[in-house]
Structure 1
């Protein structure tokens, strides 16, 4: 593979610093994980956005969270005809093999994926509408949130769509039989969260009130 290149020197320096400091502090924990395998407390589904720092916001140690990241924290609906579904496979592994007791879906402020979905639905993103756009086809899953937020103040709409996108993913999780059964039995709980990048505020969806409330 001739196109593979050496790591940039700053990344090499960061790795060496981590290896000499933070890794050394938890050397015993890493050795335990290597020999015993993982038993994460929860699965976290979050956005690829580099500003979303997970699982750091929960102060997690190695081995505590099974983390899957994708554009806009989307969980697609169950589709037995799909050839490849990375997110669906990750959820199946976490729930069926690792048997995590919790799945957290976390949206965030300023989400470019949600902005892209908004622009597609508003006719402002022809590149995403193109048949060959993989990003556009991924964001199609979020199209229902545009209709759900049609009456929201335009200044607040993107934030409303970000939160509604979390709910879409929670609904889609329940389209999988391997999620339905443990949820019905009380062995698995689903959680919807949204975080504001600037303030660090984390909101949780409250099913009783039907709203997101700060923790």
Structure 2
């Protein structure tokens, strides 16, 4: 990317238009008629963990929601703007994806903010939005801090616990719980370690992560 960031994006688009789009023109024509993604991935907004790159998928294969710390809020019907909930509802009830994956990652800034209570008293625009969002991790945070304090080890532990929390919150959505019980929807947890590039998959029965085969 060039020193002028947007110009760098345009240069990237031109390469894509010349190669990626042109070489898959039939695929793009098919996608123009509609999408049928195989999996929904809920991942972090962090620039280092692009799900499409990590899973090496083609356009149209995954439906992606990204936010700070890859969080899923619990099912709520209060007034407000529920972006993650809307995307989840669309993917599960309209696109009928058969799987939803929550993917955490190493060195997550949002998780670190939760751990050290960064921006705790900051107003919106100065960190308040961040603090309010990562407040979703408080239950997991308290558990981790009790065991590890606020060390680097604790940050890693909270990254792993955050995925489990989001999976638990997914199951508070009636349309998710119903489909999981019926066997038409499967929930999965994963964790990408940036430093070594290894993807770890959660075994929910054992509550442990292991490197993907």
* TM exceeding 0.5: yes
3-state DSSP class of the match of 1:128?
coil
Partner of 2:135: 140
Take 2:79 and 2:122, find their aligned partners in 1: how far apart are those partners?
A: 20
Aligned to 2:153: 156
Structure 2 residue matching 1:51: 3-state secondary structure = coil
> What corresponds to 2:82 in structure 1?
85
Q: Measure, in 2, the Cα distance between the counterparts of 1:189 and 1:9.
A: 41
Root-mean-square deviation (CA, aligned residues, Å) is 1.6
Note the residue ranges of structure 2 that are not aligned, 5 or more in a row.
none
- Summarize deviations over 1:123-172 as a string: whole Å, max 9, x none: xx3x3333531111111101111122121373411110000000110000
Aligned length: 204
The 3-state SS of whatever aligns with 2:112 is helix
Quote how far apart the aligned CAs of 1:7 are: 7.9
**Stretches (4+) displaced over 4 A:** none
CA separation of 1:7/1:31 partners in 2, compared to 1, >3 Å: closer, same or farther?
farther
Q: Does 1:195 align with 2:192?
A: yes
Give distance in 2, aligned partners of 1:116 and 1:155: 12
Give SS of 2:195's match: coil
SS at match of 2:120: helix
Match of 1:129 among 115, 118, 121: 121
TM-superposed CA distance for 1:18, in Å, is 0.9
> 1:3 corresponds to which residue?
none
Q: TM-score, normalised by structure 1?
A: 0.90
